[in-house]
Chain A
Amino acid sequence: MVTEKKTYRVLIAKPGLDGHDRGAKVIVRALRDAGFEVIYTGIRQTPEMIAEAALQEDVDAVGLSLLSGAHMTLFPQVAGLLKKKGMKGVLLFGGGIIPDEDVPALKKKGVHQVFGPGTPLSSIVGYLQENLPRARGK
């Protein structure tokens, strides 16, 4: 009768020098309310700090929020470090002010999904709910 669902853990991080964290906090709140355990790093994180936090927390997904325009540099660095630390099954997604034309390049460099401005919160929640069970089945 009692079915205990696996609780997925998600790290939300803000890489780089951009201090605008309202968006990240909205995502944190939406994921919390959707039943995830959400860890937030705070602002001004280096890719190394983010990857190390993801490792120690053994999260199932990492979400990066960036509004400064440095996503082409910082997102792939996080992807590379996660891989280097042996976290292959981790879903990496990003959001912020990211032009559509950058998305294919980001995906090629290991970012699994990108959510641009105006994405409904339910799309992000739905994406994780759909993809996490598969990603963790590694």
Chain B
Amino acid sequence: MRAGSKASAAALAQGVRAGDKRSLARALSLLIDEAPDADILIQKFFSDSGRAQKIGLSGPPGTGKSTLCGRLIAHFRGLGLRVGVLAVDPTSPLTGGAFLGDRLRVQEHVSDPGVFMRSLGSRGMVGGVSQTIFGAIHALEAAGFSKIIVETVGTGQDEVTIAKVADTVAYVTTPQLGDEIQAMKAGVMEIGDVFVVNKADLGGKDKAVSDLRSALALGRGPEKKPWEPPVVAVSAATGEGVPELGKILEDHWRHLMGSGEGRARRSAQHKEELSLYISRRLYRKALDRITDEDLERMLDHRSDPVAVARRILKPVRG
């Protein structure tokens, strides 16, 4: 049975490479659901990794990431580039359900053969993406998209996993979301390769841009770094500033390719992927070892959490 499954995963991988959208959609489901064949797919797809620019769109809820994503799709399509999108929205920790609402803002591109979009629930992962994000990216890479946009859940102040997933992080904010003091805080303000002040049509954009610039300038030493994160005002609603943002994203990609930084980032991404893969499997294996008897013993105070956990972890620790 496993042999047959291996063959069907291979056929699916072939379909993905050939540009068949149905195969890509199926492959993504297997990867996202961590189906038994997911490992085979990752192994088949991995050789294509690292060619596409992975652009992370991150920022607080309601800053217009999805609308901006639609604009960027149009921008890249105008340049003749194929675009894949992975958009993550939060999964309820209470019910496991999710409302994946990012597609609504991008629907006009749905029938463009050069665009593919998939919505993902965060499924228990804290940090802005999902546990299986790398597998999903590998599928889009194998399908030959040259720009892959990863839109995170609306983030708080310290959800920065996207920095270990994407090559270029565009951190999206809006006017009136806080002053220079907010912009000086650790966390998300450290991960942007470009800072986008969206909703520039609303007014207050100049103050927001200058607050961000001056907060960023505080960390600048005497030597000029090869890449200083620019700040750009954009209106995803009207399209104002989108070509400028597009150019910055391209400049950053060139910077990564032309310096050791691209390789360093990919290495950090591989490390993060390994960390997610290993922790996920070890965690599951360990939890599988909890027995009803363990719980009974704890209920009667014949054992304690440390003793049970140590016994469970022993063989895993090896």
Q: Distance in Å from the Cβ of B305 to the closest Cβ of chain A?
A: 15
* Residue pair A41, B107 in contact (C-beta under 8 Å): yes
CB-contact partner of B95 in A35, A49, A56, under 8 A? A35
Return B301 CB to nearest CB of chain A, in Å.
21
- A-B contact number at CB 8 A: 88
Complex Cα spacing A41 to B123, Å: 21
Within 8 Å of chain B (Cβ to Cβ): is A39?
A: yes
In the assembled complex, the CB of B86 is this many whole angstroms from the nearest CB of chain A, namely 11
Binds B, one of A1-9, A66-74, A95-103, A105-113: A1-9
A28 touches B107 (CB 8 A): no
- Residues of the B chain whose Cβ atoms lie less than 8 Å from the Cβ of A36: 97-98
Residues from chain B with Cβ under 8 Å of A28 in the complex: 99
Partner of B119, one of A31, A48, A57: A57
In the assembled complex, B117 has its CB within 8 A of some CB on chain A: yes
Report whether B25 and A41 are in contact in the complex, using a CB–CB cutoff of 8 Å.
no
A7 touching B33, Cβ below 8 Å: yes
Q: Is B302 an interface residue (CB 8 A)?
A: no
Contact B95 A38 (CB under 8 A): no
Is B215 in contact with chain A by the CB < 8 A criterion?
no
CB-defined contacts of B95 to chain A, threshold 8 Å: 32-35
A37 to B122, CA, bound (A): 10
A58 x B28 contact (CB < 8 A)? yes
Instruction: Check if B103 is an interface residue, CB within 8 A of chain A.
Output: yes
CB-CB under 8 A for A42 and B104, given A28-B99, A32-B98, A55-B25: yes
CB distance from B253 to the nearest CB of A (A): 25
Residue of A nearest to B96 (CB): A35
- B97-122 residues with Cβ-Cβ distance < 8 A to A are 97-101, 103-104, 107, 110-111, 116-119, 121
Q: What are the 3 tightest A-B residue pairs by CB atom distance, in nearest-first order?
A: A58-B25, A42-B104, A32-B97
Q: Could you tell me which A residues sit within 8 Å of B by CB distance? A: 1-2, 5-7, 28-29, 31-42, 45, 48-49, 52-53, 55-58, 85-87
Q: List 30 interface pairs A-B (beta carbons < 8 Å), by A numbering.
A: A1-B288, A2-B287, A31-B97, A32-B98, A32-B99, A33-B92, A33-B97, A35-B96, A35-B97, A37-B91, A37-B97, A37-B121, A38-B97, A40-B104, A41-B107, A42-B104, A42-B107, A45-B107, A52-B111, A53-B110, A55-B21, A56-B110, A56-B118, A57-B25, A57-B100, A57-B103, A57-B118, A58-B25, A58-B29, A58-B118
